[in-house]
């Protein structure tokens, strides 16, 4: 694997920060200064500031993200983040984003290739949202959500929509645009009051309370890799 990815897997730094460590000559591979294009093979010795490091075990976590929590690894203003909630020896980061006021299913991992796969639009990972909205959506509004609405960054892909309550819409999407659910609902005249992601890539929050998390079962990881 590429050296910056190896450093990230070892919990030393993010890939971007790892690049800076490499550029400043603080990383050695088998006794030689590491380069940005260095690849680490099994059995290679990697050191940072003279201290040997090793890549962490792969970890996969499903978190019930609570409100008022940022979907990021750290915040310069000291606000709570989703990473603060997960206590593992491995350094995991969120796959994709949920707004600070949005609750629900969030995956965190240090498996870069899988995270990239799940986040890439090509694979159309299913995301299920429950949106409490203003007003009472009519069947015509739901049909518009299903066939797609025009946003400032283009027409949305077909979705599934149904009412769970007079002012609560369930939306099933295979896209992941910024603020997409909020923008879609506003486009059909029903701004979102509260938003919750009940399912992500087939993973549900069963048995979890807000702020709680669990590690995925091997069978769940295998299913994600094949999704």
For residue 78, what is the domain's CATH number?
3.30.70.580
Model pLDDT for residues 63-112, shown as the tens digit of each residue: 999 999 999 988 889 899 999 999 988 889 999 999 999 999 999 998 88
- 210 shares a domain with 176: no
The per-residue pLDDT of the chain, averaged, comes to: 93
Tell me which H or E stretch contains 171.
strand 168-173
Q: Which residues of the chain have pLDDT under 50?
A: none
- 78 shares a domain with 44: no
- 91 shares a domain with 48: no
Q: Which residue has the tokens 């769970």?
A: 164
pTM: 0.81
- 87 shares a domain with 40: no
CATH classification at residue 188: 3.30.70.1560
Known catalytic membership, residue 99: yes
- 213 shares a domain with 103: yes
- 93 shares a domain with 33: no
Backbone region of residue 105 per phi and psi (left: phi > 0; alpha: psi in -120 to 50; beta: other values): beta
Which is catalytic among the residues 19, 99, 101, 111?
Answer: 99
DSSP state of 70: B
Which residues constitute the domain of residue 155? 126-200
CATH classification at residue 20: 3.10.290.10
- Into how many domains does the chain fold? 3
- 220 shares a domain with 108: yes
CA distance 18 to 26: 10
- 19 shares a domain with 48: yes
The predicted structure's pLDDT at residue 120: 83
């Amino acid at each position: 694997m590429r050296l910056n990815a190896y450093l990230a897997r070892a919990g030393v730094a993010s890939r971007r920060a790892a690049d800076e460590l490499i550029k400043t000559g603080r990383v050695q591979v088998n006794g030689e200064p590491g380069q940005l294009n260095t690849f680490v093979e099994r059995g290679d010795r990697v050191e940072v500031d003279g201290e040997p490091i090793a890549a962490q075990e792969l970890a996969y976590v499903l978190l019930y993200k609570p409100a008022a929590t940022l979907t990021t690894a750290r915040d310069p203003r000291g606000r709570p983040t989703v990473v603060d909630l997960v206590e593992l020896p491995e350094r995991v980061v969120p796959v994709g984003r949920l707004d600070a006021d949005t609750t629900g299913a969030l995956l965190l991992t240090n498996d870069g290739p899988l995270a990239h796969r799940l986040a890439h639009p090509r694979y159309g990972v299913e995301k299920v949202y429950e949106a409490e909205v203003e007003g009472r959506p009519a069947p015509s509004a739901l049909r518009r959500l299903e066939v797609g609405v025009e946003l400032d960054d283009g027409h949305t892909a077909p979705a599934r929509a149904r009412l769970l309550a007079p002012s609560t819409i369930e939306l099933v999407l295979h896209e992941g645009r910024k603020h997409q659910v909020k923008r879609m609902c506003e486009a059909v005249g029903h701004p979102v009051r509260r938003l919750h992601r009940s399912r992500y890539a087939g993973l549900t929050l069963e048995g979890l309370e807000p702020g709680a998390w669990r590690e995925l079962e091997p069978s769940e990881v295998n299913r994600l890799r094949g999704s």
